Amino acid sequence: MAKIKLGKDKLDKLIEICKSFNNESSELINVLHQTQKNFGYIPAEVQEVIARELNVSVAHVYGVVTFYSFFTMVPKGEFPISVCMGTACYVRGSDKVLEEFIKQLKVPVGQLTEDGKFSISCLRCVGACGLAPVVTIGERTYGRVAVGDVADILKEYQG
């Protein structure tokens, strides 16, 4: 009998989310979306609760979480950077923009900078191909980003 520490607030919130979907196992993906919205990411202990509430195995929840690239088990940075790797952006050089972000922040894709400020991820087409290459940081979208712009963009957040 292992104990999983989560905290009452979080636990209650999770139970509430699951309940809002009638604890239906077929609503798992919606539950995960809501959870990530609330917690920012979906750590293991949270998946344990969801599994219990929806009456499915934890392995199943984990299988679903790892199948869909939208879900993450690691917290994102305060300013999550996403570089679009859709074709339109790629042919306009988004791979080089990504490399530049990695170089400047010294973290690989999917990880958090030491100060927890930034995380870099790749994104599939956001559908703003007219602005290629596209980078989003949090809610903000940057269009037509050139390698040379990267330092300036980061400066906006480093102050």
Contact residues for another protein (CB under 8 A)? 1-8, 11, 24-30, 32-33, 44-45, 47-49, 51-52, 54, 56-64, 66-71, 85-88, 90-92, 123-132, 134, 141, 143
Closest approach of another protein to the CB of residue 152, in Å: 17
Pick between residue 66 and residue 114 the one whose CB is nearest to another protein: 66
Residue 76 CB, nearest distance to another protein (Å)? 14
Q: In the complex with another protein, which residue's Cβ is closer, 72 or 77?
A: 72
Q: Least distance in Å: CB of 115 to another protein?
A: 27
How far is residue 21's CA from residue 29's CA, in Å, rounded to a whole number?
10
Shortest distance in whole angstroms from residue 118 CB to another protein: 20
CB of 141 to another protein, least distance (A): 4
Pairing of strands 135-137, 118-123: unpaired
Tokens of 22: 């009638």
Nearer to another protein, 88 or 102 (CB): 88
Rg of the Cα trace of the chain?
18
- Residue 17 or 85: the one with the smaller Cβ distance to another protein is 85
How far apart, in whole angstroms, are the C-alpha atoms of residue 76 and residue 5?
21
With contact defined as beta carbons under 8 Å apart, do 111 and 74 qualify? Answer: yes
Please name the residues in contact with 157: beta carbons below 8 A apart, sequence gap of 6 or more: 79, 117, 118, 137
Our CB check for another protein shows the closer of 52 and 117 to be 52
Cis peptide before 133 (omega within 30 of 0): yes
